[in-house]
């Protein structure tokens, strides 16, 4: 099959580790932006985390937000530019930890933004520490004996939490491991943009991703491990979809 780079994707090498899902997610978003014909209207907000340099990889306007504040920045951008299509791209530390207040309130207000949430169950950029989404019994540098509910609580299920809010129009969880799941992720990303274009409310797509370095695994091993570990604690599928 001939490879064709999406117009919305820059022709540069990324800094991501082998086996990381960020590169796949970047391409899927770029493909959908091209398909919908919205590249000239698209504004994105990059996170603090492994994807902090996302603005180097997309061929549309991308700004940087302080740690966790991407939904607040996106809110201002979208309200001041109602003709634009705005999305945030955030990891589990940026969205579920320091930015939990921002995403909850943006969803509660029903802000017309799309949120793409990369969940690799660890703080990948800073050394593999335990994150809000770290799985039960998962070993990290700050939970060397494995995450236990009595000490560290339960893994945070973000889409289920946000689905309870009236302002959330679409909430879905996908995985970036198999071709079938990656195709489903692409469809969910497209739907999240369509929900925004229809003015229905906030849309969030959680994308489960491997972090081979943070997990202490080889890339192929880490991707294969997702099916037996991550998807067991974070079930795939649509959690909420508001009808027009």
pLDDT of residue 1: 56
pTM: predicted TM-score of the whole model, two decimal places = 0.96
pLDDT of residue 2: 65
Q: Which of 90-94, 136-140, 200-204 has the lowest mean pLDDT?
A: 136-140
Q: Say which residues have a Cβ less than 8 Å from residue 13's Cβ, sequence separation at least 6.
A: none
Considering the chain, what is the average pLDDT of its residues? 95
Looking at residues 175-179, what average pLDDT do you find?
Answer: 97
- Considering the domain delimited by 22-241, tell me its CATH architecture: 3-Layer(aba) Sandwich (3.40)
pLDDT band at 141, cuts 50/70/90?
confident
pLDDT of residue 32: 98
Residues 200 and 223: their CA atoms lie apart, in Å, by 34
Whether the per-residue pLDDT at 111 is higher than 90: the answer is yes
pLDDT band at 97, cuts 50/70/90?
very high
Residues 186 and 29: their CA atoms lie apart, in Å, by 7
Q: Say which residues have a Cβ less than 8 Å from residue 3's Cβ, sequence separation at least 6.
A: none
Q: What percent of the chain has pLDDT over 90?
A: 89
Nearest residue to 62 via CA among 54, 71, 70: 54
pLDDT of residue 228: 81
pLDDT in tens, 197-220: 999 999 999 999 999 999 999 999
Whether the per-residue pLDDT at 43 is higher than 70: the answer is yes
Nearest residue to 235 via CA among 116, 130, 119: 119
Give the residue carrying structure tokens 């943070």.
214
Domain boundaries, the chain: 22-241
pLDDT of residue 183: 98
The C-alpha angle 14, 24, 225, rounded to 5 degrees, equals 110
């Amino acid at each position: 099959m001939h490879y064709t780079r999406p117009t919305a994707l820059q022709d540069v090498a990324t800094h991501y580790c082998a086996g990381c899902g960020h590169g796949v997610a970047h391409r899927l978003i770029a493909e959908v932006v091209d398909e919908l014909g919205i590249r000239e209207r698209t504004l994105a907000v990059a996170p603090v985390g492994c994807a902090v340099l996302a603005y180097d990889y997309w061929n549309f306007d991308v700004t940087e937000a302080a740690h966790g504040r991407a939904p607040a920045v996106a809110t201002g951008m979208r309200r001041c530019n109602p003709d634009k299509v705005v999305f945030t791209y955030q990891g589990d530390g940026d969205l579920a930890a320091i930015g939990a207040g921002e995403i909850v309130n943006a969803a509660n207000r029903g802000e017309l933004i799309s949120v793409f949430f990369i969940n690799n169950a660890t703080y990948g950029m800073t050394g593999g520490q335990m994150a809000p989404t770290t799985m039960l019994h998962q070993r990290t540098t700050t939970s060397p004996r494995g995450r236990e509910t009595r000490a560290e609580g339960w893994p945070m299920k973000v889409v289920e939490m946000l689905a309870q809010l009236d302002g959330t129009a679409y909430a879905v969880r996908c995985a970036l491991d198999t071709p079938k799941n990656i195709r489903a992720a692409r469809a969910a990303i497209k739907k999240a943009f369509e929900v925004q274009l229809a003015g229905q409310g906030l849309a969030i797509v959680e994308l489960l991703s491997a972090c081979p370095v943070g997990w202490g695994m080889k890339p192929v091993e880490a991707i294969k491990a997702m099916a037996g570990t991550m998807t067991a604690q974070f079930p795939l599928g649509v959690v909420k979809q508001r009808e027009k």
